[in-house]
């Protein structure tokens, strides 16, 4: 049943006049009569008592009146809800571990926002375990990690690398041996670090920016992204130290297999690779 039929019924009941109802609805009086007749045939009941000078609801009409108000209200609410839903953008969520955020993603955030112009983008810094859980729960679409997730539920694509440099606030870092700041650059880095370095850190952190702030303010040395410290090295606020440690770290774009946003993720992967 067309909702306009119920709106017409309400207008006739409220105005008690077919002509005024027609004027309020911007339709002809014949159309009003046809809609009321349609309702009466559908319910097999007379809805109005008509005579020359009055028009009032029958008991059946009184009963229908409350339902008509409810149906019109619910239909209008559903139309508004659907209109709002159509205006809402698709949500797309990205997360990076703190080290990848500092070394790679933070310098590409504005370009990423522009790429996802038609999408409601969410970006966060999370631990590796949290990224894996959210990908599995499908509350996250892409994760950026330095080590792949070795699980059949995930797709790991190598999209690039970033370089690390061991930098110090002094030319001879041995003068600051007790001020070493260890930055967690992933599982492979941890293994190599144990093999090549024996000094104990004064601070451990998963965030390059924290390490940089500490060594700049207190003196010290740390493995930091070349991109992050290049200007400080150029101005001799920091000095690069020779190291046997492999300083090129991979970046993996990780997604959930058979994700509903697989096509968008693939397009973004190509976009982010072309930026390098």
What domains does the chain contain, in order, with CATH numbers?
3-86 (1.10.10.10), 90-160+250-274 (3.40.190.10), 162-248 (3.40.190.10)
pLDDT at 182: 95
For residues 138 and 265, what is the distance between their CA atoms, to the nearest angstrom? 13
Q: Name the pairing type of β-strands 248-256 and 90-96.
A: unpaired
Q: Would you call 191 exposed, middle or buried from its count of C-beta atoms within 10 A (0-12, 13-18, 19+)?
A: exposed
Average pLDDT, the chain: 89
pTM over 0.75: no
pLDDT at 81: 79
The C-alpha angle 220, 224, 228, rounded to 5 degrees, equals: 115
Which of these, 180, 230, 226, lies nearest to 205 by C-alpha position? 180
pLDDT at 33: 92
pLDDT at 273: 85
pLDDT at 87: 65
For residues 173 and 204, what is the distance between their CA atoms, to the nearest angstrom? 18
Q: Tens of pLDDT along the chain (276 residues)?
A: 788 999 999 999 999 888 889 999 899 999 999 999 999 999 999 999 987 777 889 999 999 998 999 998 998 888 887 877 676 678 899 999 988 998 888 888 999 999 988 888 899 999 999 999 999 999 999 999 988 999 999 999 999 889 999 999 998 888 888 999 999 888 888 888 888 888 889 999 988 999 999 999 999 999 999 989 999 999 999 999 988 876 788 899 999 998 888 899 999 999 988 876
pLDDT at 50: 82
Give 92's strand partners. 121
For residues 245 and 31, what is the distance between their CA atoms, to the nearest angstrom? 85
């Amino acid at each position: 049943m067309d909702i306009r039929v119920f709106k017409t019924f309400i207008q006739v009941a409220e105005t008690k006049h077919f002509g005024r109802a027609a004027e309020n609805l911007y339709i002809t009086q014949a159309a009003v009569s046809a809609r009321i007749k349609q309702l009466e045939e559908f319910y097999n009941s007379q809805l109005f008592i008509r005579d020359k000078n009055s028009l009032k609801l029958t008991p059946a009409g009184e009963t229908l009146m409350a339902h008509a108000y409810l149906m019109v209200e619910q239909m209008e609410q559903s139309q508004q809800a659907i209109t709002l839903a159509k205006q809402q953008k698709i949500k797309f969520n990205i997360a990076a571990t703190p080290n990848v955020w500092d070394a790679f993603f933070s310098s590409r955030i504005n370009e990423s926002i522009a790429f996802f112009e038609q999408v409601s983008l969410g970006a966060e810094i999370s631990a590796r375990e949290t990224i894996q859980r959210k990908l599995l729960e499908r509350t996250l679409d892409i994760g950026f990690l330095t080590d792949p997730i070795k699980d059949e539920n995930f797709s790991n694509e190598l999209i690039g690398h970033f370089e690390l440099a061991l930098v110090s606030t002094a030319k001879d870092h041995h003068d600051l041996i007790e001020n070493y700041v260890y930055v967690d650059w992933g599982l492979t880095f941890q293994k190599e670090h144990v093999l090549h370095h024996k000094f104990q850190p004064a601070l451990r952190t998963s965030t390059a920016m924290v390490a940089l702030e500490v060594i700049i303010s207190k003196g010290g040395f740390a493995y930091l992204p070349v991109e992050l410290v290049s200007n400080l090295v150029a101005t001799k606020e920091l000095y690069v130290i020779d190291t046997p440690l492999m300083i090129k770290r991979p970046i993996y774009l990780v997604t959930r297999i058979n994700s509903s946003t697989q096509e968008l993720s693939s397009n973004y992967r190509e976009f982010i690779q072309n930026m390098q």
